[in-house]
Amino acid sequence: MEIVLAKTAGFCFGVRRALDLVNEALALDKKDIYSLGPLIHNPGVVDNLSREGLVEVDDLSKIPCGRIVIRSHGVGPQIYQQAVLKGLKIIDATCPFVKNVHQLAVLLHEQCYQIIIVGEREHAEVKGVLDSVNNDAMVINQIHDLDGKFISPKIGIISQTTQDIANFQTIVAHLLEYAKEIRVFNTICLATSKRQQEAAELSKKVDLMIVVGGKNSANTTRLWEICRDNCSRSYQVENSDELMSEWFKNVKKAGITAGASTPDEQIQKVLKKIMKYRG
């Protein structure tokens, strides 16, 4: 069995930056350091950080003192204001590409565009962007989400940074029919686009695809969906323990890719276990 590992698999710039910031902070002092929600969407990495001293909370009110880490997915301005009022030191691990989405949303809001965010309403990144414009935006994940919605003749479109580029383009093309004035910002990060493109190409050339990453990771799930469209035997796993030997029966060529929050060591463990299934 031939095994092909995608070149783009593994940590993206934003995730690596967030981890570096937190590890530096933990190296200085392991006490009183809190993360508002999981730093990244990878349970294994989050568990390791917890053992090192990073305490995850779901509400700012649960942080008595010390340092607060703003997760890579970003938050709205109210959280920063509340943290300052509580006297907390802020460690801002927001991905710079996500910050750019916030800035564009605010700009469009100030210029009185109806803002349409292509993304998932319940995703942490989208929630943060919504907070930055006081929830004055429409979130669309699929074209049918537009059914029955009022569309202004003046709209501005932005995207969750981990969106499927094809889905984004389809929605933009559809909205062109409604608007007299439209501003479109493709805010899908370049690393995501490249990862999706490589996954699409690789999944067409193999008998089986393994996508490694957290089940709560939007970009990992998106990769699995892209692979599944081209290769019916596509599986998403968080770690090597979830691999099953029967998946590889009669497989001549297997492909592996991974989400942006998946560490190299996790990918290598999956690779090594798959190598054991070679006939």
Query: Is residue 125 among the annotated active site residues?
Result: yes
143 torsion bin: left (phi>0), alpha (psi -120 to 50), beta (else): alpha
pLDDT at 10 over 70: yes
Domain count, the chain: 3
pLDDT at residue 181, rounded to an integer: 95
Which position among 120, 125, 198, 238 bears the catalytic label?
A: 125
Both 75 and 41 in one domain: the answer is yes
- State the Cα–Cα distance between residues 228 and 56, nearest whole angstrom: 33
Both 6 and 72 in one domain: the answer is no
Output DSSP code: residue 62: G
Model's pTM, two decimal places? 0.89
pLDDT at 94 over 70: yes
- 240 within 8 A of 246, measured Cβ to Cβ: no
pLDDT at residue 179, rounded to an integer: 87
> What domain range includes position 31?
13-95
Output DSSP code: residue 67: E
Where does a domain end: 173, 188, 203? Answer: 188
pLDDT band for position 279 (cuts 50, 70, 90): low
